[in-house]
Amino acid sequence: MPPTYVMRPSRLDDLGALMDLARQSGPGFTSLPVDEAILHERLEKSERAFHSRQKRIEYGKYLLMMEDTGTGEVVGCSAVKAGTGIDQPFFNYRVITLAQASHAAGDMRFDMDALILTNEYVGYTEVGTLFLQSGHRGGGAGRLAAQSRYLLMAAAPDRFSEHVLAELRGVVDETGKSPFWECLGRHFFRMDFTEADRLSATTDNQFILDLMPKYPIYVDLLPPEAREVIGRCHSDGVGAYKLLQWEGFQFDRTVDIFDGGPLVAAQKRHIRTIQESRVVTLRAGDVSGRTDALQGLVSSDALPNFRVSLADVVVEEDDVAIISPAIIEALQLDPGAKARIWLRSK
């Protein structure tokens, strides 16, 4: 039997598992630094967010852990930050096009791209920190980790912004070297990419405002190896990028200031999982082998004990959904309870 996974709120006793995921995530994965103190703080913030003990709703940072229900092992994670740029600046480069023209030079005209430093995503909700152990990828696990974040937004819409963004890791090699950083950032920060990445994860980012150039940087003046990776994501993030595009996220020519990775954004109400999900009443039953069963996701649709699992679902009249008793148990619900489902089309 394939493993049954459930996404659940992180707990303080997940620290060891979260450290293991951080070590496996590799260089450039800013949201999972290999730093026990930082990860412990994130677990504390997540617990406060799920139990609504943060000072303001938009400060909430929700961390979800993927658990193999058969073994109890944590094999992945994903997260939602309710509001970016509120407690610290969220700097990025926007790629703008400058039109150049001269009548004196024989009506010559051409366009040039330039990078300008911006902090324009203040208040956006951010989805990220999606990482699965290599042995647990495929079979719908990636979709579960990704889509559970949008089902969380659907469960408590007032806690999240109407605008949602995602930042994808840019091109970084196995040694932790970023061609974008080597050709641009290093000249202004005089430090390695890994050190800048660490400071970004552990400080209030004032160092970026202090050291980053304040004037436009012409892309054509950068070496080819830097130009080629602007707006490109890491090879390990291609699947996540495709899922974001499927949800309706679009690249709007904004990139990370360290590795040049793309930022994508969408309006919350247009996110596909949210649009296509609905609330049903659960009924326990055996749906294996039924031709009218659809694959999908089922969530408890409530905080603080928010849980999501993959399931085969048969929907009957009056919005009654039949799923296996094991899934209902994994969601810590009872037959007759309300839940939210998203079903994959045939």
Instruction: Look at residue 199 in the predicted model and tell me its pLDDT.
Output: 79
The verdict on 68 and 192 lying in the same domain is yes
DSSP string, 82-102: S-TTSSS---EEEEEEEEEEE
Q: Which residues pair with 283 in a beta bridge?
A: 322
The verdict on 208 and 244 lying in the same domain is yes
Q: What domain count does the chain have? A: 2
The verdict on 181 and 326 lying in the same domain is no
For 248-265, what is the mean pLDDT?
Answer: 95
Q: Is the pLDDT of residue 213 over 60?
A: yes
The verdict on 300 and 246 lying in the same domain is no
pTM as predicted: 0.91
Q: Is the pLDDT of residue 202 over 90?
A: no
CATH number for the domain harbouring residue 24: 3.40.630.30
Q: Is the pLDDT of residue 1 over 70?
A: no
100, part of any domain: no
The verdict on 10 and 127 lying in the same domain is yes
Q: Which of 7, 4, 92 has its CA nearest to residue 46?
A: 7
108, part of any domain: no
Structure tokens at 182: 């080597």
pLDDT tens digits along 85-120: 887 888 899 999 998 877 777 777 888 999 999 989
For 17-36, what is the mean pLDDT?
Answer: 88
Provide the pLDDT confidence category of residue 189 given band limits of 50, 70 and 90. confident
217, part of any domain: yes
Q: Is the pLDDT of residue 55 over 70?
A: no
Q: Is the pLDDT of residue 29 over 90?
A: no
> What gap in Å lies between CA 43 and CA 54, rounded to an integer?
13
Q: Is the pLDDT of residue 337 over 90?
A: yes
Instruction: Look at residue 246 in the predicted model and tell me its pLDDT.
Output: 95
For 15-42, what is the mean pLDDT?
Answer: 90
107, part of any domain: no
The verdict on 254 and 129 lying in the same domain is yes
Q: Residue 84 contacts by C-beta under 8 Å, 6 or more apart in sequence?
A: 90, 121, 122, 123, 124, 125, 126, 165
Instruction: Look at residue 318 in the predicted model and tell me its pLDDT.
Output: 84
Q: Is the pLDDT of residue 149 over 90?
A: yes
- Active-site residue, selected from the candidate residues 51, 163, 234, 270: 234
For 139-156, what is the mean pLDDT?
Answer: 95
Q: Is the pLDDT of residue 50 over 80?
A: yes
Q: Which of 251, 273, 295 is the last residue of a domain?
A: 273
Instruction: Look at residue 195 in the predicted model and tell me its pLDDT.
Output: 84
196, part of any domain: yes
The verdict on 166 and 302 lying in the same domain is no
Provide the pLDDT confidence category of residue 23 given band limits of 50, 70 and 90. very high
In the chain, what percentage of residues exceed pLDDT 70?
Answer: 97
> What gap in Å lies between CA 160 and CA 170, rounded to an integer?
26
CATH number for the domain harbouring residue 299: 2.40.40.20
Instruction: Look at residue 200 in the predicted model and tell me its pLDDT.
Output: 76
**284-294: string of b/e by CB count within 10 Å (b at 16+)?**
bbebeeeeebb
Q: Is the pLDDT of residue 74 over 90?
A: yes
The verdict on 69 and 218 lying in the same domain is yes
Instruction: Look at residue 58 in the predicted model and tell me its pLDDT.
Output: 67
44, part of any domain: yes
Answer yes or no: 103 catalytic: no
For 7-24, what is the mean pLDDT?
Answer: 96
99, part of any domain: no
110, part of any domain: no
Q: Which of 151, 170, 137 has its CA nearest to residue 259?
A: 170
Q: Is the pLDDT of residue 170 over 60?
A: yes
Looking at per-residue pLDDT, the higher value among 82 and 214 belongs to 82
Q: Is the pLDDT of residue 59 over 90?
A: no
Residue bearing tokens 């160092």: 207
Structure tokens at 215: 């004037």
Which stretch of DSSP H or E encloses residue 327? helix 325-330
Q: Is the pLDDT of residue 135 over 70?
A: yes
Instruction: Look at residue 56 in the predicted model and tell me its pLDDT.
Output: 65
Instruction: Look at residue 305 in the predicted model and tell me its pLDDT.
Output: 94
The verdict on 42 and 131 lying in the same domain is yes
The verdict on 183 and 301 lying in the same domain is no
Instruction: Look at residue 54 in the predicted model and tell me its pLDDT.
Output: 58
Structure tokens at 156: 């408590």
The verdict on 211 and 288 lying in the same domain is no
Q: Is the pLDDT of residue 126 over 60?
A: yes
What's the domain range around 307? 276-343
Instruction: Look at residue 88 in the predicted model and tell me its pLDDT.
Output: 80
Q: Which of 273, 296, 329 is the last residue of a domain?
A: 273
The verdict on 258 and 299 lying in the same domain is no
Q: Which of 244, 273, 302 is the last residue of a domain?
A: 273
Looking at per-residue pLDDT, the higher value among 256 and 58 belongs to 256
For 191-213, what is the mean pLDDT?
Answer: 79
